[in-house]
Structure 1
Amino acid sequence: MIFGYLLASAVALGIIWLAFGIWKIGAVSRGKPIGERGKQALLLIDLQSVFWDHGPYSDAAKHSTKDAILREIDAAKAQGHHIVAVRQEWSIPSTKAIARLAMKGQAIEGSKGTELAEPFAGLADHVLVKRVQDAFETGALDALLASLGVGQLRIAGLDLNYCVLKTALAARNRGYDVTVVEGGTLSAAPSERAERQMATHGVALR
């Protein structure tokens, strides 16, 4: 009887632990209001080999999106805007477990394919690592953008329904002027709901 109780307790704790990981993956952080900042940056989300080369996106979609992103990079460089790339690495124990169970183990910290994909390698001025969908979660992006005086963000990358969406919402929570580059994003599923969420929170999509 005691063994059964202990087993049931362990199972319940395991479920709670995984549920926390699921919540953590999709949560949107608040952060401190940024105040007045005049500079702009291009933020590239999850353009890494494991997602770009082996993700659920068609070659045709990747071709047009790659061209749009490279145009954004060229324009940012020409205007003297900083380019920041953020790579996904699951490193929190509960999120690593979920990645193994539900994401084929992709992008776990230390695994292959977490580097930027070949079309985008070496093009960013700064490269950061994120642990969940929201690129602001660790605080490193907050600190970098503050040091650069950035108050306006143009966001491109993967996936519009998840990491692009959550990062854009977290940026708006802090007071950034946010534009998601519509032609510079990909989504594995219909994105109407994400687009409505962004519009509701003042994120421009164009």
Structure 2
Amino acid sequence: MTTLTGRPNTALLVVDVQNGVMETAHDRSNVLANLVTLVDRARAAGTEVVWVQHTSDELPRGSSTWEYVPELVRREEEPLVHKLYGDSFEDTDLEEVLSARGIGGLVVAGAQTDACIRSTLHGALTRGYDVTLVEDAHTTEDLSAYGAPPPGQVIAHTNLYWKYQTAPGRTAGTVPTAEVEFGVKAPA
């Protein structure tokens, strides 16, 4: 249970599902279908959906590569957090957004597994959040030419180690899209 007092709510955190990130993403169509399902189910349950959008030299703000994929459409009332670093909390207003909504638990999905997803998972856990990774709703590109394992192995390894992640007073773990339960509030 989160170590953040008075924050019983959970949010779906959708990280960097942008055109330039997803164009060569591993298992793109299945991951996107799962992300669409998660967003729809979160909305139907009244669970906050919080969007994170990365800006970099490869993803210049306002460019087509920077935009979210057309399969996912953010509603105007849903918070959008802009970031420059891997960890979605680093030098952003994400903490303020979550605090204002009483959110102490995160369900994380998006891209890239071996960069912004991992950084955000660890950043959230160290800040006191309960953090669940949706095991079939995150992806990465193939960086094996640079010495990385193939993307399927990167995803599998991240799922494996996050499944067993622990921290005092907080929960972590993985769950497939089909088993994500939105609308369930943690005890205050």
- Given that 1:169 and 1:203 are in contact with CA atoms closer than 8 Å, whether structure 2 keeps it comes out as no
Are 1:57 and 2:22 an aligned pair? no
CA distance in 1, matches of 2:140, 2:20: 15
Choose 1 or 2 for highest CA Rg: 1
Instruction: Indicate the larger mover: 168-177 or 117-126.
Output: 117-126
RMSD: 2.0
Question: Structure 2 length normalisation: TM-score?
Answer: 0.75
Give yes or no for the alignment of 1:120 onto 2:72.
yes
Identity %: 24
Q: 1:144 aligns with which of 90, 97, 101?
A: 97
CA offset digits 1:71-94 (Å, max 9, x no partner): 11111011101101101013xxxx
Aligned twin of 1:35: 5
Task: State the Cα distance separating 1:68 from its structure 2 match.
Answer: 0.8
- Distance apart, 1:41 and its partner CA: 0.5
Distance 2:126 2:6 in 1: 14
1:35/1:175 contact within 8 Å kept: no
Displacement after TM superposition at 1:120 (Å): 0.9
Structure 2: gaps of 5 or more residues: 142-150, 176-188
Moved more, 190-199 or 80-89: 190-199
Whole-Å separation in 2 of the counterparts to 1:193 and 1:62:
18
Residue 77 of structure 1 is matched in structure 2 by 43
Alignment of 1:38-187 (within 5 A): 38-52=8-22, 54=23, 56-58=24-26, 61-90=27-56, 105-109=57-61, 111-123=63-75, 125-187=78-140
134, 142, 165: which is aligned to 1:200?
A: 165
Deviation at 1:204, TM superposition (A): 0.8
Give the drift of 1:44.
Answer: 0.4
Runs of 5+ unmatched residues, structure 1: 1-32, 91-104
After superposition, what is the alpha-carbon deviation per residue over 1:125-173, rounded to whole angstroms, capped at 9, x for unaligned? 1111111100000140000000010011101100111101110111001
TM-score by length of 1: 0.69
Deviation at 1:34, TM superposition (A): 2.8
User: What CA deviation, in whole Å up to 9, does each residue of 1:100-146 have, x standing for no partner?
Assistant: xxxxx411345442111111123471111111100000140000000
